[in-house]
């Protein structure tokens, strides 16, 4: 078998929380009188909370201090976490759950590589607490995607060389991070349009075709 592990992004791959991110950032943008829409929200995918806020502030004509930035991003996260409390095991699709179980049966190590600092909370909400062999997320990295740090840390936690791991991503920044980390990748969702991934997935369970 070419790969010994698969490292998954969380949002948009294992589950979908984009709508909650959008609602939370929209609340902050509205508070500051900044225009914010779905197109801008798509630019935030795969990047850190502060970098996301800096993108939103491109539309802001005022001056904002670093402390205020921290306060606003914390407020956004509190709104987001409140919205996440609505999530439950029904937010994990049968296809994703069955595919993960089958990959486990085939002897693959499974990990999460996400820029989110709420990864463990989300996994708990959807019934996957303790399921993955390693979790690398926004709490243990200093550089967000397209920097490969989050994936390289996941490989390190799995005690594997990067080339033994395959990345599954829905964001272009994540595919670029995999390339920089010298890891093969499988694109799903928006990442398909990058034409940069090793594999393109029409559905999540097509991972089983790659991992024979």
Report, as residue numbers or ranges, the catalytic residues.
Answer: 9, 11
Strands (DSSP E) contained in the chain are 5-8, 109-113, 134-136, 165-169, 184-187, 199-200
Q: Residue 135 phi/psi, 5° resolution?
A: -130, 120
d(CA 119, CA 124): 9
Give the burial class of 30: count Cβ atoms within 10 A of its Cβ; 0-12 exposed, 13-18 middle, 19 or more buried.
exposed
Task: Give the contacts of 135 (CB within 8 A, at least 6 positions apart).
Answer: 111, 112, 119, 120, 123, 154, 157
Helices (H) and strands (E) in the chain, counts: 9, 6
d(CA 195, CA 180): 15
CA atoms within 13 A on the CB side of 79: 18
Task: Read off the tokens for 145.
Answer: 């995607």
């Amino acid at each position: 078998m070419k790969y010994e592990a698969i490292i998954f992004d969380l949002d948009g791959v294992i589950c979908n929380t984009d709508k909650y991110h959008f609602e939370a950032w929209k609340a902050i943008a509205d508070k500051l009188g900044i225009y914010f829409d779905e197109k801008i929200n798509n630019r935030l995918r795969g990047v850190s909370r502060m970098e996301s806020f800096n993108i939103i502030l491109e539309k802001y004509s005022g001056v904002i201090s670093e402390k205020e930035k921290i306060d606003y991003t914390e407020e956004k996260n509190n709104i987001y976490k409140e919205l996440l409390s609505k999530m439950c095991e029904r937010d994990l699709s049968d296809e994703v759950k069955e595919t993960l179980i089958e990959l486990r049966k085939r002897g693959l190590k499974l990990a999460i590589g996400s820029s989110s600092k709420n990864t463990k909370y989300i996994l708990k909400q959807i019934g996957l607490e303790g399921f993955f062999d390693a979790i690398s997320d926004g709490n243990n990295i200093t550089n967000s995607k397209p920097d490969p740090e989050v994936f390289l840390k996941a490989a390190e936690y799995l005690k594997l060389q990067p080339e033994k791991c395959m990345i599954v991503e829905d964001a272009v920044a994540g595919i670029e991070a995999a390339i920089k980390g010298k890891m093969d990748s499988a694109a799903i969702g928006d990442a398909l349009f990058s034409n940069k991934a090793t594999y393109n997935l029409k559905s999540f369970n097509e991972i089983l075709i790659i991992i024979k």
